[in-house]
Each structure stands twice: as C-alpha cells, then as structure tokens.
Amino acid sequence: MRPSPRALLLLSLLPALALGADWMREYDRGLQAVRQEDWAEAERRFASAIEEDPVPQERRRFQGVVYRPYLPHYYAGLAAFRRGDCETALRYWNHAPTAAVLDKSSLGEERAQYRQGVETCRQRIASSRPAASPAPAAPRSATAPGAVPAALRGAVEAWLAGEYRRLLGIDPGAGPDPRSRAQLYLFRAAAAFALAELEGQGGAARLDAVRQDIRAARAAQPELEPDPQFFPPRFRRLWQQSR
C-alpha cells in the first residue's frame, strides 16, 4: 500500500520538527544530569540548549499541553557553581532576561537559589582578589570588602542580583572621587541598557540616557572600560561606540 499524501507530508516534516526540538532534548538531558549531580554534563547540555534557543520563559510548552519553566542560563550557572567555577556561573547568571523571569515569576525556590549563588560567588571572587591599590582599576576590584564606598558596593550587589530598576535610582554624585563616580555612571548605564533590552522596541527611548551616562563615566575616568566578567558584549559594544 502506498503512503497517503498526508503521511508523506508528515514524513517530510520530521527533519524540521526534530531540528526545532533540539533545545527541548538538550534541556531535558541537562535536567537529568542535574538530578544525577553530573554537573559538567549538565552545563554542557544547558549551554547547547542556549545555543538553540536562549530565551527564558516561566511557562513554555514542551510537548502537547505540558508546560514547564525554561531557564537554561539559570541551570547552566547552577552547574558551573556546583563545579566550583564562580566566574563561569556569574557569566551565565548575569543574563538580564533570566533575572527578570526569576524576579517576576512564582519560582521561589529557583529565585532564592539564584540570589544565594550570586552572593556566594561574589564573596568568593572578592576574597580571592588582592586588595585594591590606590591606582585606578577596572570594576572587578570594586567588590573587595572595604575598598570602595558603600554606594558603589551597593551598585555592584544590585547589578549581580539583577535589580536593574534599583540601579536607575542611584546618584553617581554620591561617589567621593572621580573613579567612584565613573563606576556609578557605568553601572547605571548598564542597568538602563539591560532594561532597554528586556523592553524591546519600547525600551529604545532609554538608550539616550545610556549614552549620556557612558559619556559621563568616560569624562570622570577616561581609561575606564566595562569588565567582560560583569557586563554583556552588546553593552560593551555600545560603550565603545559612545564617544
């Protein structure tokens, strides 16, 4: 018996359907690795899911009417954290859309674990670095305890926790010296940029304020550059373009 036209059509669609489900397969295998505490495999699977589809969702349709959270950056960061690699964990966790989903969702356990992990990694990285010298330094030294004013420490903590709207309210004038004021402008600009990315076309109006803060930061400390560990590539490109 020859296959019906409908069957032939379904067969022709199978490769495309399989390709479109790669993110689902990698994500589920990553969750299985998490349950088995195979953290290296989990990170690899979630990184692969991110390559296929990086957009997080609190409720995403997996199969039929099955809806589950889709948080590949969160789980990739968790896997790196469990491996003891805080720098990699923070790179995954410093993903504005994922932070926004966790902040607004009902995923209380994941949100608490995320915030605790970010704070733990921040402290570990800070304690592993030498104390800040009097010479100007990149923002990475800003987390050293006692090395910077409280306003700047608060800005670092808010950025790592994804509290971007809180950062919009900071006053760079609170910095007691040009270097501190420049870094406060930097964090405020990065927060406004992250919100603009989350808001899509509706956030385009924020970009003028972002560029103004970038120029103010450069004026206060011309050699300042955003640290790749803390700030995403798109923001760093805008930094370079804003003169």
What does the alpha-carbon distance between residue 56 and residue 73 come to, in Å, rounded to a whole number?
Answer: 8
Task: Output the pLDDT for position 132.
Answer: 52
What does the alpha-carbon distance between residue 212 and residue 207 come to, in Å, rounded to a whole number?
Answer: 9
- According to DSSP, the β-strands at 57-63 and 66-70 are antiparallel
Task: Output the pLDDT for position 143.
Answer: 39
Which tokens belong to 122?
A: 């921040």
Residue 67 has pLDDT above 60, yes or no: yes
Q: What is the CA radius of gyration of the chain?
A: 21
Q: Hey, what amino acid is at 167? A: L
Domains of the chain and CATH, by start: 20-123 (1.25.40.10), 132-241 (no CATH)
- Locus of tokens 């910095």: 175
Tens of pLDDT, residue by residue over 156-177, are 887 777 788 888 888 888 788 8
Task: Output the pLDDT for position 93.
Answer: 92
- The model's pTM is 0.49
| % of the chain beyond a pLDDT of 70 | 81
Question: CB–CB of 43/76 below 8 Å?
Answer: yes
